[in-house]
Chains A and B, each alone.
Chain A
Amino acid sequence: MDELLAYVELGDEDTARLREVHAILSPQFPAMANEFYTKILGHPGASSVLSGSDREKLCRTLTEWMSSGLLGPYDEAFYDKRSLIGRRHVEIGLAQHYMLVAMNVIRAGYVSRIFQLAPAGQVLPFITAVHKLLDVELAMVLHHYQLASERKLVERERRHQRDQLAAMQTLSSGLAHGIRNPLNSAKLQLELLERRLRKHAEDPRLTDPTELAHHEIGRLAALVNDFLAFAQPPSMHFEDQDLVVVVRHALELERPIAHKRDIHLELVAEREPIHARVDSTKLHQIIHNLVRNAIEAVAAGGHVELTMFQEGDRVHVVVADDGPGMPDHVRARIYEPFFSTKESGTGLGMSIVHSLVTMHGGTIGLTSSPSGTRFDVALPRMP
């Protein structure tokens, strides 16, 4: 508010003049309001928005507006009150250009009345002060129009994203269901072939390819499961858990892979236990995906460290690696479904992490530099 007053240079002298204007014009307010609405309601666009309103009530409100505008004081309470009016204009759907025209009608009303009624020497200073006041009023109303249009943009963007996500989920679900049955058949047929081959001869030239095919089918099955997890966000089962136990268990399952790649895996818990209400299966999946991601990001001899601590009503699980970090364009899209930098990834892992963290009412932060990447998952202790 102060910034606005300074900008239009509405100083103490002006406020004193505005109070004088009030003294002279206040008996005229009802007539001015009446003239205003006659003019405004003559316009079909504006009148359609205001139709049905009680004209007398509108005039009373405008009178009060003029009176309080001239009297001030121009403090935060004034700003709050004006904000209500600004929001109301936006809410009823009065287009911005009608509002600008209306402001000019009021301006003209003030100017002509001041010409008629003010002492000759005061006309110019009075008009200048009124202009400044009306500029302040205009700025406040416009601010609300701007906020509303920003909100609309954000909302439109969100709706677009939701539609896109829903379409992708439908697609994923259809695809996953369609792939699953043939995959099961293929796996069983292969199993049959493999067993019969082994029965006749333990010949690796025959059995090795079937084993490889088994492995590939396993990958496909995992991929299909990823798609389904993404397409059907699971329902949550919150239970009081010691998160250290859940995280440690999830981490232990990754140890063989880490060991194979010569990567050091460590868990540092600030204290133990750390209790919170979580869905332990989903938390397990979150940790699995984050740690797997980290393991794949670091070179042999690298480190993946999990840190757990409590801060206020949130529990943090930080997964940090000393890999090469992520370029900006990867970081910007990391939670997008189907976005992957790996040749064999589905691009759903981090998207699933994001949605599972969100379902816990938590947040996930990401910092990355050439010396490593760090995901900070913060979960509310009582979601």
Chain B
Amino acid sequence: MSPVTPHVATRRILVVDDEANARVALAELLRDEGFEVETAVHGFDALSKLGSVAPHVVITDLQMPGMEGSELVARLLQGSDPPSVIVMTSFGEIAAAVAALRAGASNYVTKPIHFDELLLVLGKVIEHHDLEREVDRLRAQDDGDADRAAVT
């Protein structure tokens, strides 16, 4: 069903946007692609849902009342198993996108969103996310082996 990634069904995505129609449509589009999707209406809402949803990827608008986009990105990434973050930015807000990338966002898409482009970016981000986890796992395993080696 999805051209993006073979593991879509197991992927949880948190969509953060204060524009209801955009949020709902994006969530539905992603669900149609097979993702598991939750939504949040602003940055604080997103942070409060982070624990319960445990998303693999957060797709967030940059311009929302209450919190700078780059600040939200930084706080989303604070946990022990942080999600990857894709920011949605508008033409003329490239500076904000750069700030978000500096804060640790994985990638950005420009509004109005081309859904195919978003899917492509999402695929890459998930792939990268998986690789990172794999590296972490192998490293942990390696350390474990080393520890055992040290013990014996």
Contacts and interface: CB of A to CB of B under 8 A. Distances in A.
A175 B112 CA distance: 16
Contact of A187 (B20, B91, B113): B113
B92 A189 contact: no
A225 B22 contact: no
Contact of A185 (B19, B32, B90): B19
Contacts of B20: 185
B47 interface: no
B115 interface: yes
A221 B26 CA distance: 18
B22 A185 contact: yes
A180 B111 CA distance: 8
Interface string B1-45: 000000000000000000111100110110010000000000000
Interface in B77-121: 90-92, 111-113, 115
A185 B21 contact: yes
A184 interface: yes
Interface stretch (A152-160, A191-199, A304-312, A336-344): A191-199
A192 B23 CA distance: 12
A228 B112 contact: no
Interface residues on A, range: 20 to 34
A232 B92 contact: yes
A196 B19 contact: no
Contact of A195 (B19, B26, B29): B29
A111 interface: no
Contacts of A186: 21
B115 A184 contact: no
Contacts, number: 54
A50 interface: no
A188 B92 contact: no
Contact of A192 (B28, B90, B91, B92): B28
Given A225-B92, A228-B91, A232-B92, A188 B25 contact: yes
A196 B115 CA distance: 14
A181 interface: yes
A364 interface: no
Contact of B112 (A192, A221, A232): A221
A352 B112 CA distance: 22
B74 to A, nearest CB: 24
B133 to A, nearest CB: 30
A184 B19 contact: yes
A10 B152 CA distance: 118
A183 interface: yes
Given A228-B92, A232-B92, A189 B25 contact: yes
Contacts of A181: 19, 22, 111
Given A181-B19, A184-B22, A185-B22, A191 B92 contact: no
Contacts of B113: 184, 187-188
Q: Which of A180, A182, A184, A189 has the most CB of B within 10 A?
A: A184
Given A183-B112, A195-B29, A221-B112, A188 B91 contact: no
Contact of B21 (A189, A195, A229, A232): A189
B115 to A, nearest CB: 5
B124 to A, nearest CB: 20
A103 interface: no
A229 B92 contact: yes
Nearest to B29: A192
Contact of A191 (B19, B91, B111, B115): B115
Contacts of A188: 21-22, 25-26, 29, 112-113, 115
A133 to B, nearest CB: 64
B97 to A, nearest CB: 14
Given A184-B113, A229-B92, A191 B25 contact: yes
A224 B20 CA distance: 21
Interface string A210-234: 0000000100010011001100100
Nearest to A176: B92
Nearest to A199: B32
A184 B63 CA distance: 13
Contacts of A232: 92
Contacts of B111: 180-181, 184
A163 B16 CA distance: 39
Interface of B: 19-22, 25-26, 28-29, 32, 90-92, 111-113, 115
18 contacts: A180-B111, A181-B19, A182-B19, A182-B21, A183-B112, A184-B111, A184-B113, A186-B21, A188-B22, A188-B29, A189-B21, A189-B25, A191-B29, A192-B29, A192-B32, A196-B32, A221-B112, A229-B92
Given A182-B21, A186-B21, A188-B22, 12 more contacts: A176-B92, A182-B19, A184-B19, A184-B112, A185-B25, A187-B112, A189-B25, A191-B29, A191-B115, A195-B32, A217-B112, A225-B92
For the complex of A and B, the 6 pairs showing the least CB-CB separation, nearest first, are A188-B25, A185-B21, A185-B22, A228-B92, A187-B112, A184-B112
